[in-house]
Amino acid sequence: MKRKLLIFLIIILILGGGGFLGYNYLYNKFIKKPGDSKTPDPTANWEIYKSEGYKFSIKYPKDWEMIEKPNKDAPLSGESINILPPLPEELKDGKQLKIYVNVYEDEDFLLNWIETENKHYEMEFLEWAQFGKNKFAKVETPEFKDSVSFVTAANDTIYEINTQAYPPDTADKSFNEKLTKDIEFMLMNFKILD
């Protein structure tokens, strides 16, 4: 009787261990996907522009051009930078695809500037746009064809990421898709620093 019970327990242990090992093998071979552990960051080799004065950073592709200068078109109280994507030769027929990052030191300045200088500009709130953890007010100025701004604020500072020719509409559809994705990643990686 004891011998039968011992054999029975050994059989149960062997079956249980075999079942566990079999399940583990099948899970690792067929169920678990190769990319489950970590997805590579598509922005890992991008450049980072960091403004200590206005406490923000933005990532942009290495092959884009960064122009760090004040925007002469607007009396901004803060900082203005331009980020320009490379254009294929066949697209350089006057098309301007640009990203502006404008910083307004306080909302009173921005509201005053809009009321006094830009009465003829109609700004239209489109929707709230979410890119990763970042939430922006998506604003359009109909007078500027294909210009969309993404606006956010923190610590009495307003950050406007203005896109010229967005979404892009050029002859090269794959270029349009890549540029749109790059802009979305830039918005996703925009950070307001502490």
pLDDT of residue 83: 80
Provide mean pLDDT across the span 162-183.
74
* Residue given tokens 């990763």 in the structure block: 132
The per-residue pLDDT for range 55-79, each reduced to its tens digit, is 889 999 998 888 776 555 544 556 6
Is the CATH number of domain 47-192 3.40.1000? Answer: yes
**d(Cα 104, Cα 157) in Å, to the nearest integer?**
6
* Residue given tokens 């331009």 in the structure block: 82
**d(Cα 177, Cα 189) in Å, to the nearest integer?**
18
pLDDT over 70 at 171, yes or no = no
Two structure tokens written together for 28: 């690792």
**d(Cα 134, Cα 83) in Å, to the nearest integer?**
19
pLDDT over 90 at 176, yes or no = no
Handedness of CA 61, 64, 70, 72 (dihedral sign): negative
pLDDT of residue 45: 93
Per residue, what are the HEC states of 139-173? EECCCCCCEEEEEEEECCEEEEEEEECCCCCCCCH
pTM of the model: 0.66
Provide mean pLDDT across the span 171-193.
84
Q: Is 26 exposed, middle or buried (0-12, 13-18, 19+ CB in 10 A)?
A: exposed
What are the residue boundaries of the structural domains of the chain, listed by start? 2-36, 47-192
pLDDT over 60 at 172, yes or no = yes
pLDDT of residue 48: 93
pLDDT of residue 59: 92
Higher pLDDT, 98 or 85: 85
What single letter denotes the amino acid at residue 173? K
